[in-house]
Amino acid sequence: MFNFLKQKFDPTIYKTPTSKIVLVAYDANGHVPNFEKARYFMVHVFENDRQVRKQMMSANQGGVHTHDLLEQICGMHVDAVVAGFFDGHSLHELKRHGIKTYVFDGGPGAAAKAYRMGSLEEM
């Protein structure tokens, strides 16, 4: 399998029944970009609505197809993805794997806080 991530998901982040793993699309411009155009993802791990871990993953977008990106994310046991927008195919595949999707217009820190506070509306 093609690994689009320069930095792999840290295997010491374990999924527990009370943890939520949330990816927030991130780009250097300070706004949450569209899912397919994201150059980075911030991995947030929440336990009982409290952030316990944050890690940045760098996506190597040069020549990476959305299919490879989706395959990698769907194999990470992610609970939710927050992005500026999702195309139809990406939205369908994430939903098919039980991953919740949220659209957010603003910065990545505010997106993670909005998720934690429960103020995002699921697509």
CATH code for position 58: 3.30.420.130
- Find the mean pLDDT for residues 9-19: 69
The answer to whether position 3 is within a domain reads no
pLDDT at 4: 41
The answer to whether position 12 is within a domain reads no
Inform me whether the pLDDT recorded for 14 exceeds 60.
yes
Q: What domain count does the chain have? A: 1
| Tens-place pLDDT, residues 24-71 | 999 888 899 999 888 889 999 999 888 888 888 877 655 556 778 888
- Find the mean pLDDT for residues 69-94: 92
Please indicate whether residue 120 or residue 59 has the higher confidence score (pLDDT).
Answer: 120
Highest mean pLDDT among 9-18, 19-28, 54-63: 19-28
What gap in Å lies between CA 102 and CA 9, rounded to an integer? 21
The answer to whether position 48 is within a domain reads yes
Task: Name the residue range of residue 93's domain.
Answer: 19-117
The answer to whether position 68 is within a domain reads yes
The answer to whether position 7 is within a domain reads no
The number of residues making up the chain comes to: 123
The strand pairing partners of 83, in sequence order, are 103
The answer to whether position 55 is within a domain reads yes
Burial of 110 (0-12, 13-18, 19+ CB in 10 A): middle
Q: Are 109 and 44 in contact (CB under 8 A)?
A: no
The answer to whether position 112 is within a domain reads yes
The answer to whether position 14 is within a domain reads no
- Find the mean pLDDT for residues 76-102: 95
CA dihedral 57, 116, 17, 91 (to 10 degrees): -60
**Average pLDDT score over the chain:** 84
